[in-house]
């Protein structure tokens, strides 16, 4: 075995061990919290309240694990740079850099690949171990429904085979070529091909890719089949067509309502959400899916992903090409800097545009159902089931708190409402806005209550 490959595998093994240990410590912390809430239930604490505390603690633990992973990665980089500065001959040990003027850069990339392999393996160790050792038991403790162990394990195996294995094989291949035949031009070409493949798999074949990694069942084959006609009525009123309606038997922390597919027309509704909501929130969820199609949210997200990939690829490509130009580096450096500025400004613009689209979807859902209060409570319920506060936001989706603020302003405007819109919404978790209660406890009577008829027209013009 070449010495370069042996050193690379050693760094990779160290990264895998460190990240896996961090993952297992996070799983241990989750188990401790689960045992604590199990004791609280035995002492008389309501199951739903115990579940809310558990998922909130679980979410905080996962955030800590992510921050720990970042700290470990930066530690690898700092230690490597310090060691390379103290011992310059290390570059020749890690790659076959004889006569190669770019040994420092190639060595750094090779080390970074080794650390990333450990990072990705650690992430999946956390995911798989957390599911098997914590989440399966939590399903029984908190009475979250029937989710057979073999279904969960099969879902995780598919996820590993579809996402982790191809990624690790790709990174190992890059590292192998770099250690034996270091070449910057090859690296740039490989980067371009990889970005194209990633875009096609995750965006063009989004529905297939999503279905393979999750546990979906057609609505008609579930206990929620009676909702099919009502959803069809809402879709006709909204002027859209769902290619299919799927119920996702989701794991803890992944409750959501989304629309996926090449044209983003497959409606996916969380089984846990349906089990913990009544008809007003379910109507709001369907209206949200209709809004996603009407606003072409899927196309916008796909184009924003393409924009990010193109600019990221150009930026990384130009950075890798800078060492090849020698004395002519300044023009290329200037172009690289301009691309970085464009990428930075473009990402801000894309995020703002996408957030505005979500605000429009929320408004359309309120106008369609005539029940803005139910749309507000929908956000709170999904966040509560995932253990996330309403102030948390992602890079592209505004926080539930901000979306509720927009809807509150909409409520204060004069426009026709549904007859039931003034009533508080039955929900599993209490929702407040501006110190006003929006909900009443969700009980069996609310779960089995007869829904109001689907209207024949929108309550207000979108």
Please tell me whether residues 165 and 78 are part of one structural domain. Answer: yes
Say yes or no to pLDDT of 130 above 70. Answer: yes
pLDDT at residue 4 tops 80:
no
Residues 284 and 171 in one domain: no
Q: How many domains does the chain have?
A: 2
Question: What's the whole-number mean pLDDT along residues 347-376?
Answer: 89
Q: Please determine, for residue 100, whether its predicted confidence score (pLDDT) is greater than 70.
A: no
Smallest CA-to-CA distance from 300 within 348, 254, 353 is with 353
Q: Are 231 and 285 in contact (CB under 8 A)?
A: no
Q: DSSP letter string over 299-367? A: HHHHHHHHHHHHHHHHHHHHHHHGGGSGGGHHHHHHHHHHHHHHHHHHHHHHHHHHHHHHHHHHHHHHH
Of 14-28, 41-55, 146-160, which one has max mean pLDDT? 14-28
Mean pLDDT (the chain) is 81
26 and 152 co-located in one domain: yes
The parent domain of residue 301 ranges over 216-310+324-447
Residue 280 in domain: yes
| pLDDT recorded at residue 436 | 83
Q: Quick one: 168 and 241 in the same domain?
A: no
Q: Identify the residue whose tokens are 């650690």.
A: 122
Percentage of the residues of the chain whose pLDDT score is greater than 70 = 82
When pLDDT is averaged across residues 298-310 and rounded to a whole number, the result is 75
Mean pLDDT over 30-37 rounds to 90
Does residue 165 sit in the same domain as residue 230? no
pLDDT at 152: 74
**Tokens at 212, concatenated:** 């393979």
Residue 456 covered by a domain: no
Residues in the chain: 462
Residue 175's pLDDT is: 75
pLDDT of 425: 93
For residue 396, pLDDT over 70 is answered with no
* Residue 304 banded pLDDT, cuts 50, 70, 90: confident
Res. 432: pLDDT tops 80: yes
Q: Token pair for residue 93?
A: 């040990």
Query: Are residues 32 and 102 both part of a single domain?
Result: yes
What is the mean pLDDT of the segment spanning 190-197?
74
> Which range is least confidently modeled, 4-18, 83-97, 320-334, 386-400?
320-334
Q: Does residue 332 carry a pLDDT above 70?
A: no
258-268 per-residue burial string, b: 16 or more CB within 10 A, e: under 16: bbbbbebbbbb
Record the tokens describing residue 381, joined without a space. Answer: 């319920």
Q: Are residues 157 and 243 in the same domain?
A: no
At 315, the pLDDT band (50, 70, 90 cuts) reads low
Is 209 inside any structural domain? no
Instruction: Assess whether 109 and 239 both reside in one domain.
Output: no
Name the pTM for this structure: 0.80
The dihedral sign for the CA sequence 38, 40, 42, 44: negative
Q: Where are the alpha helices (DSSP H) in 213-328?
A: 228-238, 271-275, 279-294, 297-321
Any domain includes 175 = yes
Last residue of one domain, picked from the residues 182, 205, 227:
182
Q: pLDDT grade, residue 89 (50/70/90)? A: low
One domain for residues 220 and 168: no
Is 99 inside a domain boundary? Answer: yes
pLDDT (tens digit per residue) in 198-248 = 777 777 777 777 777 778 889 999 999 999 999 999 999 999 999 889 998
Give SS3 for 145. Answer: coil
Q: What is the pLDDT of residue 1?
A: 46
Same-domain status, 290 and 390: yes
Task: Identify the pLDDT of residue 305.
Answer: 75
- Domain limit, last residue, from 182, 207, 225: 182
From CA 380, how far away is CA 255, in angstroms rounded?
12
Q: Measured between alpha carbons, how far is 323 from 317 in angstroms, rounded to an integer?
A: 11
Query: Is pLDDT at 64 greater than 80 in this prediction?
Result: yes
Asked, for residue 19, whether it belongs to a domain, the answer is: yes
Residue 59 in any domain: the answer is yes
- What Cα–Cα distance (Å) separates residue 278 from each residue in 36, 39, 328? 30, 30, 66
* Mean pLDDT across 249-256: 80
Looking at the fold, whether 165 and 238 belong to one and the same domain comes out as no
pLDDT at 325 over 60: no
Beta bridge partners of 269: 247, 257
Give the 3-state secondary structure of residue 76. helix
pLDDT at residue 93, as a whole number: 56
Residue 198, classified by CB atoms within 10 Å of its CB into exposed (0-12), middle (13-18) or buried (19+), is middle
- The closest of 122, 126, 154 to 30, measured between CA atoms, is 126
Whether 238 contacts 231, CB under 8 Å: no
Closest to 11 in 3D by CA, of 166, 3, 101, 123: 3
* Residue 458, domain member (yes or no): no
Q: In terms of domains, do 24 and 139 share one?
A: yes
Q: Which of 134, 156, 182 is the last residue of a domain?
A: 182
pLDDT at 112 over 70: yes
């Amino acid at each position: 075995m070449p010495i370069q490959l042996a050193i690379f595998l050693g760094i990779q093994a160290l990264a895998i061990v460190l990240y896996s240990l961090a993952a297992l410590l996070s799983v241990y912390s989750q188990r401790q919290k689960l045992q604590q809430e199990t004791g609280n239930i035995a002492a008389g604490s309501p199951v739903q309240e115990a579940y809310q505390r558990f998922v909130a603690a679980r979410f905080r633990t996962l955030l800590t694990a992510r921050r720990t992973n970042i700290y470990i990665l930066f530690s690898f980089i700092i230690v490597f740079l310090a060691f390379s500065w103290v011992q310059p001959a290390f570059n020749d040990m890690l790659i076959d850099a004889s006569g190669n003027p770019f040994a420092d850069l190639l060595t750094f990339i090779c080390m970074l690949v080794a650390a990333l392999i450990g990072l990705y393996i650690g992430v999946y160790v956390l995911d798989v171990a957390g599911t098997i050792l914590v989440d399966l038991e939590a399903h029984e403790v908190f009475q979250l429904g029937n989710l057979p162990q073999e279904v969960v394990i099969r879902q995780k195996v598919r996820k590993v085979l579809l996402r982790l294995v191809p990624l690790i094989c790709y990174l190992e291949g890059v590292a192998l070529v770099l250690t034996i035949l270091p070449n910057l031009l090859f690296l740039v070409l490989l980067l371009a091909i990889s970005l194209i493949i990633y875009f096609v798999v995750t965006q063009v074949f989004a529905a297939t890719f999503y279905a393979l990694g999750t546990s979906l069942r057609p609505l008609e084959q579930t206990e929620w089949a009676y909702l099919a006609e009502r959803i069809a009525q809402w879709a006709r009123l909204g002027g859209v067509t769902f290619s299919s309606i799927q119920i996702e038997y989701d794991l803890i922390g992944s409750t959501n309502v989304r629309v996926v597919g090449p044209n983003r027309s497959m409606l996916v509704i969380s089984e846990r959400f349906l089990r913990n909501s009544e008809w007003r929130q379910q109507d709001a969820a369907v209206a949200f899916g209709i809004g996603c199609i009407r606003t072409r949210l899927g196309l916008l997200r796909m184009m924003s992903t393409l924009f990010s990939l193109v600019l990221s690829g150009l930026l990384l490509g130009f950075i890798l090409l800078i060492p090849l130009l020698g004395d002519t580096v300044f023009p290329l450096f200037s172009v690289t800097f301009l691309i970085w500025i464009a990428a930075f400004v473009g990402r801000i613009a894309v995020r703002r545009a996408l957030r505005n689209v979500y605000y429009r979807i929320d408004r359309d859902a309120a106008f369609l159902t005539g029940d803005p209060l139910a749309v507000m409570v929908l956000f709170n319920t999904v966040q509560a089931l995932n253990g996330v506060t309403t102030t948390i936001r992602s890079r592209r989706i505004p926080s539930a708190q901000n979306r509720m603020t927009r809807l509150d302003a909409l409520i204060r405007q004069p426009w026709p409402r549904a007859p039931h819109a003034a009533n508080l919404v039955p929900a599993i978790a209490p929702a407040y806005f501006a110190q006003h209660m929006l909900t009443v406890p969700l009980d069996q009577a609310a779960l089995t209550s007869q829904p109001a008829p689907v209207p024949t027209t929108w309550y207000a013009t979108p």
